[in-house]
Structure 1
Amino acid sequence: MRSFSNLWYWIALAVVWSTTSHWVLGVPYDMVLRARRHGGQAQQDLEDMVRITTNRLLYILKMTGPVLLAFTSFLLASLGIMAFYYNVEIAQALFLLAFPMSIVGGLSFYTAAQISHDMIRGEALQKRLASHRIVTQGIGMLSIFVTAMYGMYQNMSLGALGQ
């Protein structure tokens, strides 16, 4: 299972991060841009969509928060051990994809709670979603860079061994 030399892994990595940066808290970012340009009904649609997805995220957190945290921690720890202690390449590839996504997931829960608690609306909501997107893109860029460097290292070291 040579993950880092497989084109499909890199395509999947690009698609995951592209989709993650486009869908901010479950809302397509073009809705934010449309609300910023046109206001009115576009802004109302954005606020309704954010209210729905925020309430959904907070409901998930309320109902399954500790279980979700425990399961995610178990999954990441298992992947990390298989990846870096037992040197399983598919686990390395999945860990380098799942760990940063779990950070984005936690950030999304935090942002949803902040929007709901502070009742953010209007231009402040647009700015909050834009800043969430920028942080998500930063995490994605760092993740892609680290994954690319690690993948190149793996490919070069395994290539040198003749495997």
Structure 2
Amino acid sequence: MTLYQTIFEVIDMRSFSNLWYWIAVAVVWSSASHWVLGVPFDLVLRARRNGEQALADLEDLARINVNRILYITQVSGIWIIGFNCFFMTMLFTLAIFYDFEFAQAVLLLAFPLSLVALLSVSTAQQIREDSGTGERLIKRLNRHRLYTQIIGMFSIFVTSMWGMYQNLYTGPFGG
């Protein structure tokens, strides 16, 4: 057996039947909904409950991350969009036209995350325009988290349906 065969036997490239893929999906969406614009959501809850110092910490951290996101967008936003479009097109082509399961798995994870990234830029712009502080900032972060969770739930549903279809269609031996 060659090294190439050994690697592909150990790392199952049939992603939808691989436990590690589903662990990665869970971790990615859990992290995406916990870190709202780079702010941990427990800080948002603490600011709502305790006020004062926790709210000041939330406002500072949100301001830092909003400025960081918008700076990156202004400096290299076009390049990021270009590379993202290239990457998504490549994944889409491999996934649909070449029926490459690993590309399907990555596409079903990466495309919704790119939507969350666009949502983050939009929310950051809204926070800067409103000079988001206090209760208004908390509401914006809550809304952003809700939209992220909706995208995540829809993504997990579509991914699990497609994964079950692939596992039933290809069977345990790949076709």
TM superposition score category, shorter chain reference: over 0.9
Query: 1:19-40 deviations in whole A, cap 9, x for unaligned?
Result: 0000000000000000000000
- Decide which of 14, 37, 58 is 2:70's aligned counterpart: 58
Matched, 1:96 2:102: no
Structure 1 residue 120: Cα displacement? 1.4
Structure 1 residue 111: Cα displacement? 0.3
Structure 1 residue 161: Cα displacement? 7.8
TM-score, with structure 2 as normaliser = 0.91
Structure 1 residue 47: Cα displacement? 0.1
List runs of 5+ in structure 2 lacking aligned partners: 1-12
Aligned to 1:78: 90
RMSD, matched Cα: 1.1
TM-score, with structure 1 as normaliser = 0.98
Query: 1:120-151 deviations in whole A, cap 9, x for unaligned?
Result: 11001001100100000000000000000000
Matched, 1:26 2:42: no
**Rg: which structure is higher?**
2
Aligned to 2:130: 118
Aligned residues: 163
In 2, the alpha carbon distance for the partners of 1:109 and 1:141 equals: 21
Aligned to 1:109: 121
List runs of 5+ in structure 1 lacking aligned partners: none
Matched, 1:2 2:39: no
Query: 1:77-120 deviations in whole A, cap 9, x for unaligned?
Result: 10000001100000000000000000000000110011011211
Aligned to 1:129: 141
Paired residue type of 2:169: S
